[in-house]
Amino acid sequence: MTRLPPASTDQYTALPDARLVTTPALLTARKNLTDTINARAMMCLHGDAGFGKTVAATSCLHELEASEDIRRITFHTRAVRHELHAALQLPGQPPRYATEFDHLLKATLATHPRTLVLDEAQWLSSDQLEYIRYLWDDPYTQLAVIFIGGEGCHTTLRQEPMLSSRIFTWQHSSRLTLDEVQEVIPLYHPLWADADPEDIAFADNRAAHGNFRNWARLTAHTHTALHRTGRTRVDQDVLRWTFSRLGAGA
CATH of the domain at 150: 3.40.50.300
Please state, as a whole number, how many other Cβ atoms lie within 10 Å of the Cβ of residue 166: 15
**Mean pLDDT (the chain, rounded):** 89
Question: Predicted confidence band at 220 (pLDDT cuts at 50, 70, 90)?
Answer: very high
Are the C-beta atoms of residues 132 and 121 closer than 8 Å to each other?
no
pLDDT level of residue 230 (50, 70, 90 thresholds): confident
* % of residues, the chain, pLDDT over 70: 93
102 and 31 both lie in a single domain? yes
C-alpha radius of gyration, the chain, whole number: 21
What is the rounded average pLDDT of the residues 146-160?
Answer: 93
Average pLDDT over residues 85-102: 94
Residue ending a domain, choose from 173, 189, 216 = 173
Note down the domain range covering 197.
Answer: 178-246
Checking if the pLDDT of 194 tops 50, the result is yes
Whether 157 and 58 map to the same domain: the answer is yes
User: Quick one: pLDDT band at residue 5, thresholds 50, 70, 90?
Assistant: low
Strands of the sheet with 167-173, listed across from one edge = 69-73, 114-118, 143-149, 42-47, 167-173
Boundary (domain end) residue, out of 173, 199, 227:
173
Q: How much is the average pLDDT of 236-250?
A: 82
Shared-domain flag, residues 114 and 129: yes
pLDDT tier at 99, thresholds 50, 70, 90: very high
Domain boundary among 173, 203, 236: 173
d(Cα 176, Cα 25) in Å, to the nearest integer? 9
